[in-house]
Every structure is written in C-alpha cells, then in structure tokens.
Amino acid sequence: MGSRSTRPQSGRFAMSRLVNQQQDSSPSTPVQRALRALTIPLERLHIMKGHMMQAMRRGLGRHTHSRATLKMLPTYICATPDGTEKGDFLVVELCQSQVRTLLVTLLGDGNLNPQMMYKTFDMPEDIMRGEGEALFDFIAQCVSQFLADANSSLEHLPLGFVFPFSCQQTQLNKAELISWSKGFSCRDVVGKDVVQLLQSAINKQELSNVEVVALMNDTVGTMMTCSTEGRPCEVALIADKGSNCCFMAEAHLVETAEETSGRMCINTEWGRFGDDGILSDILTPYDECVDEESFSPGEKRFEKMVGSLYLGEIARHVLIALAAEKALFTGSSVAVLKEKGVLKTHQVLEIINIEEGTAMTKRALEALGLQPNERDCSRVQQICRAVVSRAATLYATGLSAVLSYMCQSRDMDQLLVNVGVDGELYQGHTRFEEILLSVTKLLAPECVPTLLPSTDGSGRGAAMVTAVAVRLEAQRREVAEVLAPLRLSHDDLVQVQALMRQEMELGLGQETHANASVRMLPTYVCHTPDGTELGEFLALDLGGTNFRVLVVQVTEQGIRMASEIYVIPTAVMQGTGEELFDHIIDCIMDFQEKQDLMTHTLPLGFTFSFPCQQVGLDKALLLTWTKGFSASGCVGQDVVQLLREAAERKHHAGLKVVALVNDTVGTMMSCGYEDPKCEIGLIVGTGTNACYMEEMRNVGTVEGDEGRMCINMEWGAFGDNGCLDHIFTSFDRVVDDQTINPGKQRFEKLISGMYLGEIVRHILLAMADKELLFHGNPSPKLYTKDIFKTKFLSTIELQGDTTPAYGMGTVVGTGTLVLTVALVWVSNGLAPRQIRQILQDLELDASFEDSVLMREVCHTVSMRAAQLCAAGLAAVVEKMRENRGLDKLSITVGVDGTLYKLHPNFSHCLQKTLRDLAPNCTVSFMPSEDGSGKGAALVAAVACRVTGPGQ
C-alpha cells in the first residue's frame, strides 16, 4: 500500500476536522465520542494482527524487505543463555550524552547472581558532533580508564557494544552505520563498520586483551537478561518512550541473512508499522495532531500511538478538543494545554492511579495551571485511562502477531513462551500487564506468554549476548574437532576414486580377480533395451520373506503390469530346498491361473537377491543363504535348475526361465527401456551396489572380446582389503565391530541406510560425553544399538524444496529400507513436529540448540555417504569414457533405493560431487520404478529379442 493521501497538512486543520466531526447529530456526549474514538473493536484488532504478520513476512523476504514497513533486522544472535555461561565480560553502552562501562562476572549458576561493576563517563558535546575517530577514541579511553580503576588484569576480555543507532548488521560483530540520530552527527562514520572502528580505537589504547565480539541494541539485551537456566526467554517487548519488539525466528525464514539453520533473534523495528497507511482507519484526529507536531511527520505511526514519548501529547489533544466543546474546564482558561509537551506521560500515569481516586488528578491538573472541578477530574481520568489502555491493547496486538507467527513457523499446536518486558509504560501502569495478557489471549489463544520483568537490558543483557557468543564459539570449535574426520576434502575423494578404479581393474583381471575387494561379477546381460522389445513376460522377485510374481506386457504403447505378493512361511524358509522351490512354483501357478495364463508359456526373468556365482544368463550357483533363509540342499546348486526341477515335479510345463538377475541390474534395465543411454545401475538403500556395461575385451573372467557385458560390481565390499582404512573414523570402527560381519562390506557401512543411523548414534554419545549435547546426560535409550534409525536422518535434515522429482510416498526396492517420511515440508529448515516426535521416542531432553547440532551431525554423516558414493560412481563413468575413447561421455544412471530417493539432500550432494570429480562426463540420473520386477521382465525381453523367437 502506498503513502496515505488523507493525512492533514497541518495540526490546525486536524483539530478543525476533529471539532467538525464531533459536532454531528450523534446523541452521544463529546466525552463518549472521544472514548469511542480511542477504543478499537476486537474484530479490528484481529485484522491489524493479520496485517502485522504479513508485514513481518515481507520484512524477512529477500525480495520484499526493501519495501516493508517492518524491517525485521537480523541480529545474528542465534541462541539464548542456557545458564552455563561463566567468565568476565565487558560492556560498553553509548548513551545520549554518556558512555557507560560495565564489567559483568557470570558464575555458571544459571545466571542468577551475576556480579557487576560499572562506571559512567560524561561525553563532551563536541565529541558528539566532531570526527568519528574522536568519538571512538573517547569510548576506548573510557574503557581503558574503567579497567584501570577496576584493577583488571584478565588475559582475555570479550566486549559487548550497545550502539543504539540504525545499522546494517551482517554478523554479530560487524555492522555498518546507516544514519545518526539523538543529536549525534560524527563525521566519516556512516557506511563504516562501527565494531571495527571501536576495535581499532581499543587497540590504540594497547588493550590487547579486549576483543569486541558482539553489537546489539537494548531490545535484544532485554530478551537476553530474562533468560536463565531452564527458562529461556525468546521474545522481548520494550514499552518505553520508543517501542520495539524482538524474537527468536526460525533462521531459514530470515532470507536477508545467510544463516539457514537454528534460530536467530530478529529486531522487528515495529515502530514503523503503519507508515504505509494500513492503520489509517484507527488513527484518530488526536493522533494526526501529534504526528504533525512531531519531528518526523508520517513516520513511526505505530510508535506514536503506543510510545510513552507521545501518550501525554495524545491526551493533551483530547483535552483541548473537549475543552473547545465545553465538555471540560468550563469557564476557565486552557491556554496552557496548547503548549507542546506540557503534559508528560508520567503525569498521565499518575492521573490514572486508581488508588488515589481523583485527588492525584486534581493536583496534577492544578500544577499545570488549570482549575478543574470534580467532574473534570473524573473525565480527565477517563480520557487518560483510555489513551494508555489503547496503547496497551495495541502492544498486545503486536505481541499476538509475533507469537502467532512463531507458533505457525514452528509447526506447533500451542506455544509456551517467556517474554521479557521493560520500559516506562510497563513499569508505571498498574494494569498494563493485565491488559497485555488478556488481549493477547483473545487474539492468540494458541499462545501462552509469561511476562518476565527485565533488569538492565542494555547492561547485563549485553553481557549475556557476549557470553552466549563466547560459549557458542567454544562449542563450535569442539564440534568441528569431533566431526573433522568425517569431512572429506576434494583430495580425499580423488584418492577414493583412484582406489575404486584400481580395485575395478583387479576385479576384472583373470589372475587378480580372486583377491580383489570389488568382485566385478559377470552377469551375462550383454544388451540393454532398444525399444523394440514386445511381448508378454513373467517376473519373479525373491529377496525376503515376501516375494512377488508379475506379468509384464511390453507393447508399442508402453508397459503394463499386474502382480501379487506371496508369503514364504518360516517352516518353508528353513526346510528343504525342494519344499521351498515347490512352494514358489505353487505360487506361480496360482498367479497364472488368476491371470488366465495357465495355457501360456511365457519367458521368465528371475530376480534372486542372494549371493551367487553367475556362470550364465540363466545359470547361477548359490554361495550362501542370508535374510533368515536356510533351506537345505541349495548352497552350491544352480538356483534356476532347482526352480525348473520343481516345475517338473508339479507338472508345470509352461515355465521358461531365461534370465537370473539381481536388483541392481534390474534397475539399469528398467530405466534403460525409458532412456537408451542408461548403462549404469545404482542402488543406495539399506545396502548399496552398482553395475555398468563394460567392454568384453576388458572382462578377463569371461571368454570373448566382442560387445559389452553388464558387470555387477558388488562394490559394498570395496575397502575390505584395508585400502580405505585411512578414511575410517573411530565411529566407523565401532559400528563395524558390532555388526554380524566385522571387516566385511566396509564401503557399504560408510554409505548405506543400514548403518548411517548407528554412526550418528555413536557421534551423539561422544558429543554428550564432551557435554556438547543434552547437558552431558543422554537418555539410557540412546545407548541401545540401532535405536537411531536412518530414517531419522531424513526427517531431521528435511529442508529446502523437498518435493522430489521422482514423486512422493514410500519407495520399496528389494533389500532397501522403507523410509516412512511424508515429504511435505517445503521450507528451508527443521521440521519441528517430526523432530519433537523423534526426541520423544528416544526419551531425549533436548534443547532447540541440541536439535540444531543433531542436524549438523546427521548432515555430516549423510553428506559423507553421498560424496563417497559419488567417488565410486566417478571411477565408473571415467572408466567407461576411457574405454570408448571419448573426450566427453554423456550417460544415464538408473537409480533406486530409499536413501537416494527420500533423503532430502543425498541426491543433490551426490550429483554435485560427481560433477566435480568427473568433469568430462555428463551424467543424468533416472529414478527406477520396480527394477526387481519390471527390470527382471525386461532382461527376459531383451534376451528373447537377441536370441530370436523360439530359441
């Protein structure tokens, strides 16, 4: 909304409009009309609250901030005191005509008994209007004198600087002055970093132990001084000559700052609310008169309705208007009321002091030179009460907007919050707190604020800001030390890529294959789909206690599928091989009968997700059972032949098994049908694996040099020979030692969903042991193996645009973990409701700062996994490029697995890292749909296409 065009051009015109307005045909008295004008209906307060919330969002928006009336300035204060702060902290406050210095000692006792020493220095008037360098030199001299008087000999003294002028703050200790006010006009300061100017001046005083670590204003100080152990304060309200509010906002919503996690204190600067005319319908002619007579007409409209600098003036103009209508002071002169500033807010507060009756009112009015009667005193008291009550009501409306915004942005049903309050109006009006709380309850019933009176917000509060900054910096250093071994450099990843390439070559070599950690198993799949495949195929997907039978129709219009899931009883899983495969044939026959396929002989692709040595496309020897299976007479046998023999026993002649594959190959084939450039398959779920089309001339374990063959890398075992020991951390070693196969599948244990939660759990315990988390007291439940699920990482890290390109919902792949995460959080930060549930499940008493640190741990572990996966993939694509003699390779990866599909950051990090490590390869990623089902059918379809009909 643009600037209002209805604002009067002079105070005289405003008063004329008021008198004309009040001389209407209304039957009410002038006093009643004045009281009604100063009373705002509840419905209008709701509207105002909504407008203020909109203004807050605009102020926080990167593209709307410049036009917003609420500037919502970032303070870069990202935590409140937790009561553990201890040490000595220096505070310098630049006041109206003084410099105030304080030395505050915190004892780590919940900040209940801080020790304070202070001294105030008068500032010469010429300093306030002279050179900027002289001002900061004077402040530094005050600091030097104060420390000398205090006999301070501390080695390091952090300093908090209270600088009450408009600044553009870009860090906690970096702020450029926008403009002077309050009588200051020092030269050569505007546009410069005032923190650096002060630090330079301090250095000239040879105070090498003093470091300026924070700059703030008094509103923020009020919030910080009200926070003690177990009682964080996240909102502050100043009801003084000026008016302001600050609160802890979700940092990811503060688009004007670079912080993206945790919370940040925002200085709303709400005094300017209404400067765009949004309050025009509740502004009275009395407000217009006050505005016209101010130093800044048309600016700070909200503050001029609520600030104690203006309430006396509003009351004065009401009294002038009523006297003009003969409703007050009849027969006596009121000329004194026409003098600006004659009625102060503290006098207004004295007048409405109910305990004194009208006696105080009479004395106050007589002191002004007026001659009030009893009725005048009663009416003046009514007017003053209405002016102050309206201010309290408007404060409540603003506070309600802030609290509701906090509640909504935190995804909470109810917000319980402490609000630090300070200022003349709060301290001097006996009913201010009552009105503030009752109106807030009406406007924001979902919020329950507790008001906390502030003590020395600009002094003690500034020390708290400084102490928290020092505590967080020390914590950050310790956290960085714990996580450093998990943070891999570019050189580290290049080395992993080279080692993977080396192991691939060993795995392909006839002489070296047996000792390679990457087995590079031939699959005998020598072609990918070309789009000409047609027909009807069966697929069997066996990978656990449930298995699927599918019929897949491949037509020119696309692929249609029907499937059914069957259960394998435990007795069958652990019985004889004949019983197991007879049961599988029974299920296939049942499915064919239901699909009216009993008379059809269809080619079948068999996804068999157990360790095998494949010796042909339709021949594979079972190496060992896993996943609870132990059927006898199967290990060392050809599983395809076992299935055929069962079909013979069941007299089922219509079974033609043409291919046996694993889910990785099926993923590549499923995507290859959609994109002919797909020649790589990747699984990143509970486990991890990759396959790709290798040149036959390089496959030393199979005869023949012509064409290509898909190689099942089995890269989860990469590093089992010790080549990755240098990147294994103490946490990885503990996790490995507690698995059923210590020393095996080492690469998989760094990447896959089965292990990431355990890695995080051990890091959290280590941090708790260092008292970096949970106040050093993790719940007993956190010591339970596998209690921290990998799906928790996805929930905790959920940020940014989390709607994946591959659709929403639960993705199921053979051997992959199902992450039941609803991807509906579309903002850039923590998903509070889900995280609270995780903390509750783990019985963790975690602060918000703990949640932020948990997110950093989760992010570090999952990003390392994505980077390592990318390093392995980089070795693959670079080998394929070199195999084909290309300067540039363009290729597609078919990918499946819940970690890739559902984790909010994994896929992005993998792709970015791959671009860095293989810049000569353009790699696209295609999420697979049913690689173990549709993919197996497509392997069969390709086999039939290549061999020809009837072969």
Catalytic sites, residue numbers: 548, 609, 663
Dist CA 407 CA 446 (whole Å): 8
Is the dihedral angle over the CA atoms 113, 99, 264, 50 positive or is it negative? positive
Dist CA 438 CA 269 (whole Å): 24
End-to-end CA distance of the chain: 77
- Note every long-range contact of 275-281, with CB atoms under 8 Å and residues 24 or more positions apart, other chains counting: 275/3, 275/69, 275/299, 275/300, 275/301, 276/1, 276/2, 276/3, 276/69, 277/1, 277/2, 277/3, 277/4, 278/1, 278/51, 278/55, 278/69, 279/48, 279/305, 280/4, 280/6, 281/44
Which CA distances in Å does 161 have to 127, 603, 747? 18, 79, 51
Element (H, E) at 891: strand 889-896
Q: Say how far residue 925 (Cα) sits from the centre of its chain.
A: 27
Dist CA 71 CA 168 (whole Å): 11
Which CA distances in Å does 516 have to 584, 593, 715? 35, 46, 11
Dist CA 866 CA 380 (whole Å): 72
Mutual orientation of helices 906-917 and 490-508 as an angle, nearest 10°?
80
Dist CA 794 CA 277 (whole Å): 45
Which CA distances in Å does 801 have to 475, 550, 609? 30, 35, 34
Q: Half-sphere exposure of residue 453, counting CA atoms within 13 Å on the CB side?
A: 9
Instruction: Fill in the DSSP letter of residue 298.
Output: T
Strand pairing report for 98-107 and 115-122: antiparallel
Which CA distances in Å does 430 have to 308, 434, 682, 757, 868? 15, 8, 70, 55, 65
E-assigned strand segments in 609-737? 612-616, 619-622, 655-661, 678-684, 688-695, 708-712
Dist CA 245 CA 271 (whole Å): 9
Dist CA 823 CA 799 (whole Å): 10
Dist CA 89 CA 320 (whole Å): 51
Strand pairing report for 243-250 and 263-267: antiparallel
Number of Cβ atoms within 10 Å of the Cβ of 803: 12
Q: Which of 390, 419, 468 is nearest to 214 (CA)?
A: 468
Token look-up 């697979």 returns: 928
Q: Where are the alpha helices (DSSP H) in 368-510?
A: 374-409, 424-428, 432-443, 460-483, 490-508
* Residue 213, token pair as written in the block: 């670590």
E-assigned strand segments in 108-197? 115-122, 157-162, 166-171, 174-179
Dist CA 792 CA 786 (whole Å): 11
Which CA distances in Å does 721 have to 267, 507, 515, 521, 868? 57, 13, 9, 18, 17
Q: Where are the alpha helices (DSSP H) in 412-451?
A: 424-428, 432-443
How many residues comprise the chain?
A: 951
Radius of gyration of the chain (CA): 37
